[in-house]
Structure 1
Amino acid sequence: MNIRNITDGISYVGVNDRTTHRFEALWPLPAGVSYNSYIVKGSSKTALIDGVEISECDKLLSNIREIAGTEAPDYLVINHMEPDHSGSIKVLRSFFPEMTIVGNAKTLEMVKGFYGIEDNLLKVADNDTIALGGLTLTFKLTPMVHWPETMMTYVNERNVLFSGDGFGCFGAINGGVIDNETDVEYYIPEMYRYYSNIVGKYGVFVQKALAKLKDLKIDYICSTHGPVWHDEVKRIGGIYDKLSRYEAETGVVIVYGSMYGNTEEMAEAIASRLAEKGIKNIRVHNASYSHLSYILSDIFRYKGLIIGAPTYSNTLYPPIESVMQAIKTRELKNRVVATFGSYTWAPQAVKRINSVLEEAKMLTPDMVSVEAKQAPSAKTLADCAALADSVASQLLS
């Protein structure tokens, strides 16, 4: 049981899930995921902050009893209603029938809609407070990070922020709960992947949330997934700030599809030339093999984006079509882009890729496209080198 005292009056009572194969039935979980729940115990009242996924509810109940004994929580604060956190609400209410469920107006609508619960609810608004006796909960509404009801809860006296899915990451808790107890670098790539997969579309709302939090002194960030951030608070906040402004590191992601190796040959030529030009962070993804989760993570992390595909049934090769839709959905910005492709008789692939980029407002006057008819010729490969030169020049200037 990963029960930890975080600071005076605040404990971690979350659980690990090492068996669910895909988060939201979409995103791979090779290292599992944690569902984080917390207890805030004042001198007169106790609050449980967030629940867990329904299949892990027995573990949560056991952890609560380990901390609170036979005493029931007075409040259940719901920062986010997605069922990986709220799935346990009905079970918790059955064990603690007098426990008041706390949420904003949109939250309580969802409590009714998902679970049919309409009694013993407390509606809170932005900056409302609940006194627990020596500890005070202050609520900060942060809509669309990443559902419309999301909010965060701040404990004034301990400088602790319960951030819901904000600042979270994939990966189960491996013993250490607070960042200074564990290998932080293990979780950083999983934070990029979590953000790009789950939150990526909502950068403007993340920025609004960060603005709302900027005057708070925060010693601990307690999210609903991943470690509790303490030593790394500034770094983690910086990563979220950068990602939500669609800023990225110097590097290039090459995403391609290839049926018989012709488009792949172009991708390899581009990657080789980028390395010659001094680009070290190069990530190459064959979209038929790399999961979209990892492709998106790299696309959010690095500034250069080169996309290639063959024409398929007079349209775009399906794995790349999925990538393009995901990029468009997430409203990606501020990238140095280029495109390439191949065809046998109908030159559609590059045209289709560029059309999506135009819809996404990602085309630039400097963008280079290269297309091969049948197999790439020596001229085609020279054009691929020129494409790489253009991207490298823009990144390194």
Structure 2
Amino acid sequence: MKVGNDIYYVGVNDHQVDLFEGQYDVPNGMSYNSYVIMDEKIAVMDTVDAHFAEEWLGNVANVLNGAKPDYLVVQHMEPDHAANIENFVKAYPEVTVVANTKTFTMMENFFRGMDLGDRKLVVANGESLTLGKHVLTFVFAPMVHWPEVMVTYDSTDKVLFSADGFGKFGALDVEEDWDCEARRYYIGIVGKYGPQVQKLLKAASTLDIQTICPLHGPILTENLGHYIEKYDIWSSYKVEDEGVVIAYSSVYGNTKKAVEVLAQKLEEKGCPKVSVFDLARDDMAEAVEDAFRYGKLVLATITYNADIFPFMKTYIDHLTERNYQNRTIGLIENGSWAPNAAKVMKAEFEKSKNITWLDTTVKIMSSLSEENMEQLDQMAEELCK
């Protein structure tokens, strides 16, 4: 597949993977993207996952058509992109590997038997490499989302090779909405590093970008402002859409009943979106994604061993470690003799910025009471303001 005048896609689709990075459900698989720039000097941009070495090397060879690559540019050392560096060097022993200092340090740790000798080109931030008519400029993007990451700008075709930036879950041979799976991907994998992404977006704003080539997901060529706007919202922790997320854990169904009542009241009051998650059964990553997408969150759980139920604890950990902020939170707790969940949940957000707590907290003693029904109505009123 041709990307630009001299740029070719040589990546692969993975429908074998069930959990990306060991935790994210990917029902439509993943793509591992790699590109070849054909010029006076030929550059290959990144490799792919270890399971697809033969297919990827075949794709590269088909594009090269007998030519020999001059450079392998390594933007990111995560194994889903860098696993075949050694295989590539063995296939093309005269190739020069282009990377930054941190990348080469990691490379030595991943490939302990590989000796590149003098076939290393160490690049600095802002440095350029001329291939002929194509000029590649390297822009460091530390902690987006590893410390060695850099992106590459081709000023000739105005292409940004964006590493993991602007990526999404899903293989390229499956049609699906970009926003949803790109958001789940971003929040789950990059979400902690909003300030670093903001810095990269600022650097990218100075470039004339007409095509974005990520290491996962489709090549972006149209309406780039939409994708950049989404990244700006996500990385600055702004509310993307108005709505309420209700995340709960329930053992015998009483807490679940309270959630169902609240959700019904919100819908009756015209709440634009009510998104409900059973944390024991639903996709945790999707529940995290929606908590960052919408402006209001209700957490409902039982007191468990003087703490909170494990699924709720895990969920809150996922939120706070990704710098959850600028949101409104309401609490529903349940306990048969010593309800303590609301206090525990609130303490979990002590370091979170700009959290607004609802005035109404619902305390259930075993099962819903008439007072609880009134409290749920009050909570719905507050959430719909």
Which bracket does the TM-score occupy, shorter chain normalised?
A: over 0.9
Pair 1:295-2:292 in alignment: no
Contact 2:328 2:357 in 1 (8 A): no
Aligned residues: 381
Inter-CA distance 213–242: structure 2 relative to 1 (3 Å threshold): same
Pair 1:220-2:211 in alignment: yes
Pair 1:106-2:102 in alignment: yes
Match of 1:263 among 255, 263, 271: 255
Secondary structure of 1:76's counterpart equals: strand
Contact 2:11 2:32 in 1 (8 A): yes
Q: Please, what TM-score do these two structures have when normalized by structure 1?
A: 0.93
Pair 1:62-2:61 in alignment: no
Pair 1:253-2:250 in alignment: no
- Corresponding position of 2:3: 6
- Corresponding position of 1:115: 111
Pair 1:77-2:69 in alignment: no
CA distance in 2, matches of 1:189, 1:205: 22
Q: After TM superposition, which residue ranges in structure 1, 4 or more long, deviate above 6 angstroms? A: none
Secondary structure of 2:8's counterpart equals: strand
Secondary structure of 1:5's counterpart equals: coil
Match of 1:29 among 26, 30, 39: 26
Match of 2:49 among 34, 50, 53: 53
CA distance in 1, matches of 2:357, 2:272: 25
Contact 2:237 2:326 in 1 (8 A): yes
Pair 1:190-2:181 in alignment: yes
Contact 1:372 1:380 in 2 (8 A): yes
Inter-CA distance 363–333: structure 2 relative to 1 (3 Å threshold): closer
Unaligned stretches of 5+ residues in structure 2: none
Pair 1:91-2:90 in alignment: no
Secondary structure of 1:229's counterpart equals: coil
CA-to-aligned-CA distance 1:11-68 (integer Å, 9 cap, x gap): 11110000111011111110100000001111x2011111100101111111111110
* Alignment root-mean-square deviation, CA: 1.3
Inter-CA distance 343–27: structure 2 relative to 1 (3 Å threshold): same
CA shift for structure 1 position 356: 0.6
Inter-CA distance 351–362: structure 2 relative to 1 (3 Å threshold): farther
Contact 1:337 1:362 in 2 (8 A): no
Match of 2:356 among 342, 349, 364: 364
- Corresponding position of 1:310: 302
CA-to-aligned-CA distance 1:216-271 (integer Å, 9 cap, x gap): 11110000000000013111111111110111210111100000111111111111
Contact 1:192 1:300 in 2 (8 A): no
**Percent identical residues:** 36
Inter-CA distance 367–207: structure 2 relative to 1 (3 Å threshold): farther
Inter-CA distance 57–142: structure 2 relative to 1 (3 Å threshold): same
CA distance in 2, matches of 1:344, 1:257: 15
CA distance in 2, matches of 1:29, 1:133: 40
Pair 1:169-2:168 in alignment: yes
Contact 1:200 1:244 in 2 (8 A): yes
CA distance in 1, matches of 2:305, 2:358: 30
CA shift for structure 1 position 276: 2.1
CA-to-aligned-CA distance 1:278-336 (integer Å, 9 cap, x gap): 21211100001012111111112111111110111221101001001111110111111
Match of 1:41 among 34, 38, 42: 38
Secondary structure of 2:251's counterpart equals: coil
- Corresponding position of 1:383: 375
Contact 2:330 2:357 in 1 (8 A): no
CA distance in 1, matches of 2:103, 2:359: 44
- Corresponding position of 2:145: 146
CA distance in 1, matches of 2:223, 2:80: 25
**In the alignment, residue 97 of structure 1 is paired with which amino acid?**
P
**In the alignment, residue 340 of structure 2 is paired with which amino acid?**
Q
Pair 1:205-2:204 in alignment: no
CA shift for structure 1 position 362: 5.1
CA-to-aligned-CA distance 1:330-374 (integer Å, 9 cap, x gap): 011111111112011121211111111223245425453211111
Contact 1:47 1:77 in 2 (8 A): yes
CA distance in 1, matches of 2:355, 2:368: 24
- Corresponding position of 1:180: none
Match of 2:222 among 231, 234, 237: 231
Contact 1:354 1:363 in 2 (8 A): no
Contact 1:337 1:367 in 2 (8 A): no
Unaligned stretches of 5+ residues in structure 1: 176-182
